[in-house]
C-alpha cells in the first residue's frame, strides 16, 4: 500500500522558515517524480513544486519561486520542502503527492502550515 506521511507543519511568524518532510513507503520511491500541492483554508488546490526521480530537475510555481526549495533523499525515501521568507498567504495544508504521467496519482494526508504573528 502506498503511504505518504507529511510532517513538519506548524505555526511560524511572517518572514520565518519551516521544513516539511514526507516519508514515502509502499512503492519504489526513486522511480517516481514527486510534487507538493497546497490548499488554503476553504480554498482550492494549488500546485507548488515538483522534482524528478534523481533530484536533478525541479520546478516551482511563480508564487514560491526563490523562497521554497524541493529536494529528496532516496536513501531515506523522503521528500522535503524548505520554505523560507514565509508570508501570511502561504498559510495552507501542504500535501505531498506522487507523480503519475503529467500530474499526480497518490496524495498524503497533509500537514498544516500557519503563518501568523
Partner 1 sequence: QSVLTQPPSVSAAPGQRVTISCSGSNSNIGNNYVFWYQQLPGTAPKLLIYDNNKRPSGIPDRFSGSKSGTSGTLGITGLQTGDEAGYYCGTWDSRLSAGVFGGGTKLTVL
Residue selected from 18, 20, 37, 70 as contacting partner 1 according to rule CB under 8 A: 37
Shortest separation between residue 32's beta carbon and partner 1, angstroms = 14
Cross-strand partners of 35: 50, 97
Count of C-beta atoms within a 10 Å radius of residue 73: 12
Helix (H, G, I), strand (E, B) or coil at 57: coil
The stretch near partner 1 (CB under 8 A) out of 12-20, 23-31, 58-66, 69-77 is 58-66
Contacts of 66 (CB under 8 A, 6+ apart): none
Shortest separation between residue 38's beta carbon and partner 1, angstroms = 11
Shortest separation between residue 37's beta carbon and partner 1, angstroms = 7
Residue 81's alpha-carbon distances to 21, 32, 70, 73, 89, in angstroms, are 7, 17, 5, 12, 17
By CB under 8 A, is residue 2 in contact with partner 1? no
Residue 40's alpha-carbon distances to 56, 64, 102, 110, in angstroms, are 29, 14, 23, 12
Residue selected from 51, 104, 113, 115 as contacting partner 1 according to rule CB under 8 A: 104
Residue selected from 9, 21, 77, 107 as contacting partner 1 according to rule CB under 8 A: 107
Which residues make up the interface to partner 1 (CB under 8 A)?
Answer: 35, 37, 44-47, 50, 59-62, 95, 100-110
Amino acid at each position: 500500500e502506498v503511504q505518504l506521511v507529511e510532517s513538519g507543519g506548524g505555526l511560524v511568524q511572517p518572514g520565518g522558515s519551516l521544513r516539511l518532510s514526507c516519508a514515502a513507503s509502499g512503492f519504489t520511491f526513486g522511480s517516481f517524480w514527486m510534487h507538493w500541492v497546497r490548499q488554503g483554508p476553504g480554498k482550492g488546490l494549488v500546485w507548488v513544486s515538483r522534482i524528478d526521480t534523481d533530484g536533478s530537475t525541479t520546478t516551482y510555481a511563480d508564487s514560491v519561486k526563490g523562497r521554497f526549495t524541493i529536494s529528496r533523499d532516496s536513501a531515506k525515501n523522503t521528500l522535503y520542502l524548505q520554505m523560507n521568507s514565509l508570508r501570511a498567504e502561504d498559510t495552507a495544508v501542504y500535501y505531498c503527492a506522487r507523480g503519475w504521467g503529467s500530474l499526480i496519482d497518490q496524495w498524503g494526508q497533509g500537514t498544516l502550515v500557519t503563518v501568523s504573528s
